[in-house]
Amino acid sequence: MAEADIKRKFNEALKFEKEGKISQAAKVYIEILGMNPKFQKAYLNLGALYSRTGDSEKAIKTYQKALDLGKTPELYYNLGVELYRLGSLDAAVKALKSSLELNKRYLNSHLLLAYCYKQLERPEKSELYLKNAIKIDPKNKTAHAALATIYFDTEKWEQALEAANLALQINPNDARMEILLTDLHVKLGNYKQSFEALKKVTTSAPGFVQFTDSIKTAKQNPKKEDKLFFDNLEVLTRKKLNEFKDKLTMSKESPEDFEAPQAQDALDLSLMYLFHGDTERALKYLLYAQKNLQENPASEAS
């Protein structure tokens, strides 16, 4: 087949890809490779199509054939991605490091190496590659968020707090980092900051806002079964609140005889107030539960 015909068929395959016709595109790439087994770009695109359809084994074989024709950072990275998906972490690490041998600033390889080492429970190596990624791209939101998580998992609270704040500066709408921030403030004893961070999440996170709005709508225009639910909830909440206050009072007056309310008591009240649509009170009791668990790690909420 003439080079012009191969180019025409390659453009045809690209058009099928753009239209989402994956099987037709793959068929054309296979035809091209049958005519010209040394067309590396066709191998690369075909491997990517296998990856999109979740066939990692075919993708790996295709990328390996492409590597026989010439080594590139992108090919080694793509190979690393598929090996990571299959759980072959050591092989993925090897492929990704080969990518960096060709281009030490290949950002995606640094990021994926960090995730590989996290899975391999080697946080120090994960931290190293995330820092490398940040040197290459100082505003990379993925790297900053992942670094905050690594520090949190290794109980480096101050470093985690700094990394989480940086991640939020770069991506202010990252609800995961906001939630992590509330936990970090509790770990550091900054309960007021934790409450404020929680409050921010619950007033801005789309899923939570939709939930609270639906609760308010149900209370304003209740169906018969909804009214029964909210009436019962009111009775249960009042009873639970009185029990909570009694425990709190008695524990303050005679701490040697009476225990303070447990985390589970506060979590129950938090959930009840959540279904009342009273987010602020729900957060206060949730914060009490967090504080209780932080100060008494042996007493887990059941």
Output the pLDDT for position 289: 73
pTM: 0.71
CB 291 within 8 A of CB 198: no
The mean predicted confidence, pLDDT, of the chain is 84
pLDDT reported for residue 162: 95
In 211-272, the DSSP E strands lie at none
Query: What CA–CA distance (Å, rounded) separates 160 from 287?
Result: 20
**Among the ranges given (106-115, 205-214, 282-291), the one the predictor scored with the smallest mean pLDDT:** 205-214
Residue in the block written with tokens 């801005």: 204
- Provide the 8-state DSSP code for 298: T
Among 52, 51, 56, 108, smallest CA distance to 86 is for 56
Average pLDDT of the segment spanning 90-110? 97
User: What is the predicted pLDDT for the residue at 236?
Assistant: 81
pLDDT band at 237 (very low <50, low <70, confident <90, very high): confident
- The larger pLDDT score, comparing residue 208 to residue 246, is at 246
Q: Is the pLDDT of residue 3 over 60?
A: yes
- How many Å apart are CA 141 and CA 151, to the nearest integer? 16
pLDDT in tens, 252-278: 777 777 777 787 777 677 767 766 767
Residue with more model confidence, 230 or 65: 65
Average pLDDT value for residue range 142-166: 95
Residues ≥6 apart with Cβ < 8 Å to 193: 185
Binned at pLDDT 50, 70 and 90, residue 300 comes out as: very low
Average pLDDT (148-158) is 94
In the chain, where does DSSP find H-type helix?
A: 3-18, 22-35, 40-52, 56-69, 73-85, 89-102, 107-119, 123-136, 141-153, 157-170, 175-187, 191-204, 206-220, 224-253, 263-276, 279-295
The predicted pLDDT at position 302 comes to 42
Instruction: Give per-residue pLDDT as tens, 171-229.
Output: 988 878 887 887 788 778 776 777 777 777 666 666 555 656 666 677 777 777 777 76
Has residue 11 got a pLDDT over 50?
A: yes
Q: What is the pLDDT of residue 211?
A: 54
Residue 206 has a pLDDT of 64
